[in-house]
Amino acid sequence: MSAALAETHGIRVPDKLYIGGRFVDALDGKTLAVLNPHDNSTIADVALASAADVNRAVVAARAAFPRWSRLAAGERGRLLLKLADAIEANADELARLETLNTGHPIRDTRGLDVPRTAATFRYFGGMADKFEGSIVPVEPGFLDYVTHEAIGVVGQIVPWNFPLMFTSWKMGPALAAGNTVVLKPSEITPLTALRIAELMSEVGIPDGVVNVVPGFGNDAGERIVQHPDINKVSFTGSTAIGKRVLAGASSNLKRVGLELGGKGANVVFEDADIARALGGSLFAIFHNQGQACIAGSRLILHERIADAFVEKFLAVAKTIRIGDPFDPATEMGPLTSSLHRDRVLAYCDVAREQGGEILIGGKAPAAPELAEGCYVEPTVVRAKTHDRVSQEEVFGPFVTVTTFATDAEAIEIANATQYGLGGGLWTRDLSRAHRTAREIRSGMLWINCYKRVHPGSPFGGMGASGHGREMGFEAMRQYTEPKAVWVNVDAEIPAFYAR
């Protein structure tokens, strides 16, 4: 670890780039103040990577690739399993560091983010020597087998909303498959990714296999996308930036994985278990302050139950405990930056301008102890299907409410956006559940639950929500190249040009 460490909340804070197995300053010496969104105080001045720093990270990753990709798959897996153990051994520190940098309530970072991070590395550690090739039945006399080879150096760009967990989602399959990594966390939430890099070094992952370079998207990010020695780029973020990534990656025809925005439809039918649907719907939108691409940000209610459901939903939403994310009683912390808080509040003005009815929220909380932070109250808006707030990703504790009369209308409303990432439905009717799940255009669909994830289940979307998948066997396939090898066992070869 770099010698220059800040002491904040009793946490060691990494403040350097991680390149070639070492913590180093940026070449131009630039730093960026990383802030605590609870009060906008400075946590640390962290080195800010430029395109030149990305270049040296790629050199390190390229040099490490032959050794890492040729290492026995079981050995790569063993190191990832050791990393999962190290994450669990340092769970409290990682949870506090994530809470400090992102504003996630400590109850969530301890109970969800850190365990899911360890579980993802453990899953792919176990998969490393179990991701098999295949034999293709071809004509007699030949053996045709297919292997899956590492792509090479992969560039990975992680957003600010779940930086710890998404680091494992990106790195886990890439490393298990034998690739080396240049990862750019968001410049506003880089701390846990850098700490994970240190743990990787401690468990014996060779120098250069992983490189972490926090920097701005229009500098370090663009260089990752366009670098000729990066063979694949995996990006999680907004749809607008995803389009730029796809265009920039064409410079060397690198493979691209995009996990982009969402506008999750959360449909409650008249026969739903209302208590279960109520709790699940509140979690779907207000967990992590609504800063999730899969958030259930469109609450679509059958007209027979709508009024009663909204009354109960509002009653509970008003009681959500907003406050210091280090307080174990806090249920909703701050948004992750002042810029994003202002963006979410601006959508409240958009709702009013388009005739939407703000049922609760729409403003920062009045509590003086929260005045310096990035807080927004839980916000519920009655809106029409094609209003901007029902179409555009707000990415905050902001949910729209609409109603439907028939199953067909519910499906039509659910599909009435450009996005197709996650969605949910609540019903006791098994036939309706499967039928509706088939008809909703979404990469993930939850029935009588919401926002469930697992390392073995593919995560990703369609349409403006991107393409490709995180997690599971799908992720391993997307971090490898299939190679067909033909062997002549005992076949006669026609002598077309015999002399």
Which pLDDT band holds residue 4 (cuts at 50, 70, 90)? very low
Q: What are phi and psi of 327, to 5 degrees?
A: -80, 120
Q: Are residues 281 and 137 in the same domain?
A: no
Q: Indicate if the pLDDT at residue 468 is higher than 80.
A: yes
Tell me the percentage of the chain whose pLDDT exceeds 70: 98
Q: Is residue 166 part of a domain?
A: yes
Q: Are residues 211 and 280 in the same domain?
A: no
- How far apart (Å, rounded) are the C-alpha atoms in residues 245 and 258? 9
Catalytic residue among 259, 377, 393, 470: 259
Which pLDDT band holds residue 494 (cuts at 50, 70, 90)? confident
Range of the domain at 369: 265-447
CB 301 within 8 A of CB 382: no
Q: Are residues 442 and 467 in the same domain?
A: no
**DSSP secondary structure letters along 53-101:** HHHHHHHHHHHHHHHHHHS-HHHHHHHHHHHHHHHHHTHHHHHHHHHHH
Give the mean model confidence (pLDDT) for residues 466-486: 97
- Report which residue type is found at 154: V
Q: Are residues 239 and 252 in the same domain?
A: yes
- Report which residue type is found at 398: F
CB 398 within 8 A of CB 297: yes
Which pLDDT band holds residue 8 (cuts at 50, 70, 90)? low
- Report which residue type is found at 328: P
Cα pseudo-dihedral 73, 78, 79, 85, rounded to 10: 150
Q: CB-side exposure of 305: number of CA atoms within 13 Å?
A: 21
Q: Are residues 256 and 164 in the same domain?
A: yes
Catalytic residue among 98, 187, 293, 393: 293
Q: Is residue 492 part of a domain?
A: no
Q: Are residues 110 and 199 in the same domain?
A: yes
Using a 10 angstrom Cβ sphere, with 0-12 exposed, 13-18 middle and 19 or more buried, the burial of residue 373 is buried
140-180 pLDDT, tens digit per residue, is 999 999 999 999 999 999 999 999 999 999 999 999 999 99
Q: Are residues 270 and 367 in the same domain?
A: yes
pLDDT at 438: 97
Q: Indicate if the pLDDT at residue 497 is higher than 80.
A: no
190-239 pLDDT, tens digit per residue, is 999 999 999 999 999 999 999 999 999 999 999 999 999 999 999 999 99
The domain boundary, picked from 400, 420, 447, lies at 447
Q: Is residue 171 part of a domain?
A: yes
Task: Report the domain count for the chain.
Answer: 2
Q: Which CATH number characterizes residue 479's domain? A: 3.40.605.10
Q: CB-side exposure of 489: number of CA atoms within 13 Å?
A: 9
pLDDT at 7: 57
Mean pLDDT, the chain, rounded, equals: 96
Q: Is residue 231 part of a domain?
A: yes
Place of tokens 């009717």: 429
293 is catalytic: yes
Let me know how many helices (H) and strands (E) the chain has, helices first. 16, 22
Q: Indicate if the pLDDT at residue 52 is higher than 50.
A: yes
Q: Are residues 30 and 72 in the same domain?
A: yes
Give the mean model confidence (pLDDT) for residues 43-47: 97
Which pLDDT band holds residue 498 (cuts at 50, 70, 90)? low
Helix (H) or strand (E) holding 33: strand 31-36
Q: What are phi and psi of 366, to 5 degrees?
A: -80, -15
Q: Which CATH number characterizes residue 419's domain? A: 3.40.309.10
- How far apart (Å, rounded) are the C-alpha atoms in residues 470 and 464? 16
Give the mean model confidence (pLDDT) for residues 87-98: 98
- How far apart (Å, rounded) are the C-alpha atoms in residues 170 and 157? 9
The domain boundary, picked from 424, 447, 470, lies at 447
Q: Indicate if the pLDDT at residue 3 is higher than 50.
A: no
- How far apart (Å, rounded) are the C-alpha atoms in residues 342 and 79? 43
Q: Indicate if the pLDDT at residue 9 is higher than 90.
A: no
Q: What are phi and psi of 129, to 5 degrees?
A: -105, 20
- How far apart (Å, rounded) are the C-alpha atoms in residues 348 and 346? 5
Q: Is residue 411 part of a domain?
A: yes
Q: Is residue 454 part of a domain?
A: no
Give the mean model confidence (pLDDT) for residues 16-43: 98
Q: Are residues 42 and 73 in the same domain?
A: yes
Q: Are residues 278 and 229 in the same domain?
A: no
Which pLDDT band holds residue 11 (cuts at 50, 70, 90)? confident
Place of tokens 């920097």: 215
Q: Are residues 292 and 223 in the same domain?
A: no
Angle at 187 between CA 444 and CA 372, to 5 degrees: 95
Q: Indicate if the pLDDT at residue 414 is higher than 90.
A: yes
CB 179 within 8 A of CB 152: yes
pLDDT at 10: 72
Q: Indicate if the pLDDT at residue 87 is higher than 90.
A: yes
Q: In what order do the strands lie in the sheet with 142-150?
A: 134-136, 142-150, 480-488
Cα pseudo-dihedral 483, 488, 492, 495, rounded to 10: 60
259 is catalytic: yes
100-110 pLDDT, tens digit per residue, is 999 999 999 99
The distance in angstroms from the start CA to the end CA of the chain is 69
320 Cβ partners below 8 Å, 6+ apart? Answer: 282, 286, 331, 332, 378
β-pair partners for 423:
265, 445
Q: Are residues 398 and 331 in the same domain?
A: yes
Q: Is residue 423 part of a domain?
A: yes
Q: Is residue 455 part of a domain?
A: no
